[in-house]
Structure 1
Amino acid sequence: MKPTAVVFAYHNVGVTGIECLLQAGVDIKLVVTHRDDPEENIWFGSVAELAHRHNIPVITPDNPNRADVIAHIAGLNPQWFFSFYYRHMLSPELLAIPPRGAYNLHGSLLPKYRGRAPVNWAVLHGEAATGVSLHQMVEKPDAGALIDQEAVAILPNDTAHGVFLKLTPAAETLLTRCLPLLLAGKIEPKPLDLAQGCYFGGRRPEHGRIDWLQSAWTIHNLVRAVAPPYPGAFFDDNGKRFFLLGSFYCGEAAVNPGKICIYWEDGHFYADCIDNKRFRIEQLSCDGVLLDQAAFNALANNGQLLPTASDDDQLEKGNTD
């Protein structure tokens, strides 16, 4: 008899997780997912479309913990729950339904970077690696015992989007390796040492504000952590809003030591920073318009913008949501 499951899923990892469960012979009784937000940049695959292709029923409740949703899921008698990048917390009443347990795939090497936006936070903090972790679901988020994990490298100029794209095949590798063992009861979960990591809050667009009193490496990490398709890193100058939509760092010395400035050199924009290092700005926009050299010179004084420091350091403070 096939193992049965209800799956809570969204995003590319949700698509991959469902495909891996089907490959492992799991009978998916129901997929619970989200309606796409028209205000969000939807650059990822559709869990609902995949489920429909496999004739799997789909529901999109605003709250999966409603009594009617819980009753519907309980009536399916699933042996397992799996959660792949689903954005709502599941209540203890829901988690008590499957007799074989509930398991979540999280986008970090737990217990590090528990909570929201783990890839963005890892890039922001200049980490050299992250990964995906399959763990037991308990009432507290990302705190249940570990089943398995798979690491990926974060290279110095990877964006958060680029790292996320690495996590999708890492999730496939992890699930292909551990699902047969998990379904057969041959994996012993390992309790997490929660003292070895901490929780992080969600991001908001205003958290992309650049503090020019930070080092070139720190600002570069912010830029690549929120580069498109995320909202981007920005600063305001003379009533105009400038966005840095990509960056490249290789430890070069600043051209204008002792000065914080943005300038054009040899076909690229650069930012000299307070630590006398610089990074290249891959794209620079002003009030929504991408700048070339001529447009930049029309805004700059003597070929340079001199951004001022910001007191807005919420992104570094974290834990806001």
Structure 2
Amino acid sequence: MRVAFFVGNDITSHLIVDQVLDDIVRAGHTPYVCYTQQPPNPRAEPELRELFRYERTLLNTYVYPYLDSLPAPLHSSFLSPAGIAKLHRGSVVVRVVEDVNDPAFLDYLAQEDIRAGFSVRCYQKFRAPLIDHFRPAAGASPLFANLHPGLLPGYRGVLTFARSMLHGEAEAGFTLHRVNEEWDAGGVISVSAGPLDYTRSVLENMCRQRGEAAGLLVRAIEQAAGEGVWDDRPQDPGQAGYYSHLRRPELDELTRKGIALVRPRAVIDLLVGAFTRPGSPESFELGGILTGVTSHLPEPALG
């Protein structure tokens, strides 16, 4: 089966998708990894701009270029998009997609006979023609799912791990649900949940569950390939909660409760540990680059 992943430009999304590629290829499937971009919001609150820098800018502006400057991809580590394309040449297709709803891109999906799709923190709105492409037959439910970082239906929207911690929840997790034209409202296919650690940041808590989230994708692909359908249960609208970006009073409340959106040192350690081998020259080089960038450059240099 040929499977498309619509991947956001953040750490968690990249690590989840990269983690499943070997399993998917070994099972005989062909992943099409379609990277999408979320631009920074210059009017966002300072804490949210900082989260963007550590969650996205370090990865795309510093980690990927460093990895791509090396003579060859580092085996036994996570890879940049270019590294994935090189190491998995012939078995994984890597693309950058500016507009997932572009008719030319839909033609490409049809020409390549891509029959299942997964959104992994892709912030673009999926329109009916794209959704309809993944229907196995007229009137059938599409084989198109969103891996949402939040437990549905109670935590729809963005930064739901932060909302869960703000509300004092014992656990949070990921929900794999069908894509429709409403945000996070499609039928629930599967869920993974784990305990929240309030000594760690919001970003750390989300990244810690990437293995369980990746498992949801692998199982859904196998079910789609074997049975051609997914079982799902409708969300209860009466239990639904939708959250937009955190506003000033909510950010202040997080601070009062001692909850950090991001801890810079933890992000650097995560990136170095994921993309290089422990104790290798590359780990020291990349660690030095990221430490220098976050310690000495003014804020606009990361924005």
Q: TM-score, normalised by structure 2?
A: 0.62
Distance 1:36 1:12, change over 3 A: farther
- Larger % of helix: which? 2
Please name the residue that 1:200 is paired with: 243
Are the aligned partners of 1:106 and 1:132 in contact in 2 as well (CA < 8 Å)?
yes
Tell me, which stretches of 5 or more residues in structure 2 are unaligned? Answer: 9-13, 41-51, 60-77, 137-142, 266-294, 297-303
Bigger mean CA deviation after superposition, 176-185 or 122-131 = 176-185
Please name the residue that 1:89 is paired with: 125
Are the aligned partners of 2:201 and 2:262 in contact in 1 as well (CA < 8 Å)?
yes
Query: Residues 166-185 of structure 1: matches in 2 within 5 Å?
Result: 166-185=208-227
Distance in structure 1 (CA, Å) of the matches to 2:83 and 2:233: 32
Residue 34 (structure 2) aligned to one of 22, 32, 48: 32
Q: How big is the shift at 1:23?
A: 4.5
Q: How big is the shift at 1:172?
A: 2.8
Bigger mean CA deviation after superposition, 152-161 or 133-142 = 152-161
Which secondary structure does the structure 1 equivalent of 2:212 belong to?
Answer: helix
Larger radius of gyration between Structure 1 and Structure 2: 1
Which secondary structure does the structure 1 equivalent of 2:209 belong to?
Answer: helix
Distance in structure 2 (CA, Å) of the matches to 1:66 and 1:183: 26
Q: Which amino acid aligns with 1:40?
A: R
Please name the residue that 1:48 is paired with: 81
Distance 1:196 1:36, change over 3 A: closer
Give yes or no for the alignment of 1:141 onto 2:183.
Answer: yes
Distance 1:178 1:122, change over 3 A: same
Aligned pair count reads: 221
Distance in structure 2 (CA, Å) of the matches to 1:58 and 1:188: 29
Tell me, which stretches of 5 or more residues in structure 1 are unaligned? Answer: 231-287, 290-321
Distance 1:156 1:40, change over 3 A: closer
Please name the residue that 2:151 is paired with: 109
* % same residue: 21
Distance in structure 2 (CA, Å) of the matches to 1:132 and 1:26: 23
CA deviation map 1:54-112 (0-9, x unaligned): 23333323322122222222222211112222221221111111234211111111112
Please name the residue that 2:195 is paired with: 153
Distance in structure 2 (CA, Å) of the matches to 1:172 and 1:166: 11
Q: How big is the shift at 1:19?
A: 4.5
Are the aligned partners of 1:108 and 1:132 in contact in 2 as well (CA < 8 Å)?
yes
Q: TM-score, normalised by structure 1?
A: 0.59
Higher-RCO chain (CA-CA 8 Å, sequence separation at least 6): 2
Distance 1:64 1:177, change over 3 A: closer
